[in-house]
Amino acid sequence: MRRAKYFRRTLVGIALYAAMVPAVLAQDSKVKSGEPLVVGTNFGLAPWIMQGPSGPEGFAVDVTTEIAKRLGRPGFEILDINFSGLFAALFGGRIEFTNTLLNITEERSTQMLYTEPLLATGRGFVVRAGDVLDNFEELSGKVVAVNRGTIDDSWAGDNAEKYGFTVERYDSFPDAVQAVITGRAFVAINEIPTTVYAASKNSAIEVAHKDYSGRNFAFAFRNDDVQFRNQVEEIIECLKLNGTLHDLHTKWYGSPPTPGSAMDVVYFGFGPPGFVGHAPTAHVPACD
């Protein structure tokens, strides 16, 4: 009941903003409205996306299903792209947008257009069951496994000398976890939701430390796809307002999102507030 009241209050607030500054959205002319939607993500980040018995499944698949349907697109395709090649696929036109677990950063916001935040996160540290990590000083002399090209890769590179650890880079999180299980690495780093889910499915590992940092995920578009970004963002807002994202988080992650976090909050304007690409344009999402 509280969630329903919150959504109603949010929608009322958006309507008041829109009364002051109207906005008209149209689909970008470059978007192929009569063809399947093509997006890219990095498989293996369960339960965001993973290979199931009948094909890809997970939170991202369910969200993409909703987006494609509301765009009026005849289906969709999710391409499995290593994170290190994801931006090249976006800028080269191989995909229309990224629907991977992509952190919002200042540097990236100058290179691509983000939607508003849709999932809060932090840094999770996976170790073999029974191992302990109480502070970063305990990483001294050890090997840290990360996904190549991610924000965790950047963090490890920036802190390796400070804390005295060695960095090993892998193309997928399962490979990094396997390095921990086999003893090639002491710890594997990834997003907190991903590490918690991985540990719940594999008794050989556990999450030894969670570094909540206030970071958020969003989808990313090419800089010239402003109208298309806005259109997809309106759909995301509708999925927040009607509780779909909230319910999908419970379905795939096993618990509701943190109250007041990005999965329930509709932000003013388009894009992530405080970052390049944010447009303070009032609008009311055209929800069903």
Confirm whether 225 is domain-assigned: yes
Confirm whether 270 is domain-assigned: no
Confirm whether 281 is domain-assigned: no
Say how many C-beta atoms besides its own lie within 10 A of residue 259's C-beta. 11
Instruction: Write out the H or E segment, with its range, that includes residue 221.
Output: strand 220-221
pLDDT at site 81 = 94
pLDDT at site 214 = 79
Query: Considering the entire predicted model, what is its pTM?
Result: 0.76
pLDDT at site 165 = 98
pLDDT at site 25 = 37
Confirm whether 272 is domain-assigned: no
Confirm whether 278 is domain-assigned: no
Judgement on whether residues 9 and 112 belong to the same structural domain of the protein: yes
| Residue finishing a domain among 214, 239, 272 | 214
Judgement on whether residues 10 and 112 belong to the same structural domain of the protein: yes
Judgement on whether residues 27 and 74 belong to the same structural domain of the protein: yes
Judgement on whether residues 225 and 238 belong to the same structural domain of the protein: yes
Please work out, in degrees rounded to the nearest 5, the angle formed at the alpha carbon of residue 275 by the alpha carbons of 274 and 280: 65
DSSP characters over 97-149: EE-S--B--HHHHTTSEE----EEEEEEEEEETT---SSGGGGTT-EEEEETT
Judgement on whether residues 8 and 104 belong to the same structural domain of the protein: yes
In tens digits, the chain (288 residues) has pLDDT values of 444 443 433 443 444 333 333 333 334 435 567 899 999 998 878 899 999 999 999 999 999 999 999 999 999 999 999 988 999 999 999 999 999 989 999 999 999 999 999 998 889 999 999 999 999 999 999 999 999 999 999 999 999 999 999 999 999 999 999 999 999 999 999 988 889 889 988 999 999 998 877 789 999 999 999 999 999 999 999 999 999 999 999 999 888 888 888 999 999 999 999 999 999 999 999 897
Judgement on whether residues 170 and 242 belong to the same structural domain of the protein: no
Judgement on whether residues 35 and 73 belong to the same structural domain of the protein: yes
DSSP characters over 154-220: HHHHHHHHHHT-EEEEESSHHHHHHHHHTTS-SEEEEEHHHHHHHHHH-TTEEEEEEEEEEEEE--E
Judgement on whether residues 80 and 68 belong to the same structural domain of the protein: yes
Half-sphere exposure of 75 (CA within 13 A, CB side): 3
| Residue finishing a domain among 183, 214, 245 | 214
Judgement on whether residues 22 and 139 belong to the same structural domain of the protein: no
- Going through 2-96 in order, the beta strands assigned E by DSSP cover 37-41, 50-52, 55-57, 76-80
Half-sphere exposure of 74 (CA within 13 A, CB side): 4
Q: Tokens 């003013």 appear where? A: 268
Residues 6+ apart with CB under 8 A from 40: 78, 79, 81, 86, 89, 90, 94, 95, 97, 98, 99, 100
pLDDT at site 30 = 52
Question: Is the distance from CB of 68 to CB of 36 less than 8 angstroms?
Answer: yes
Confirm whether 100 is domain-assigned: yes
Nearest one of 237, 239, 219, 238 to 229, comparing CA atoms: 219
Confirm whether 155 is domain-assigned: yes
Judgement on whether residues 172 and 200 belong to the same structural domain of the protein: yes
Indicate if the alpha-carbon torsion angle 174, 125, 109, 119 is positive or negative. positive
Judgement on whether residues 125 and 209 belong to the same structural domain of the protein: yes
Q: What is the CATH number of the domain that holds 135?
A: 3.40.190.10
Domain span at residue 248? 2-118+218-253
Judgement on whether residues 176 and 230 belong to the same structural domain of the protein: no
Confirm whether 280 is domain-assigned: no
The total domain count for the chain is: 2
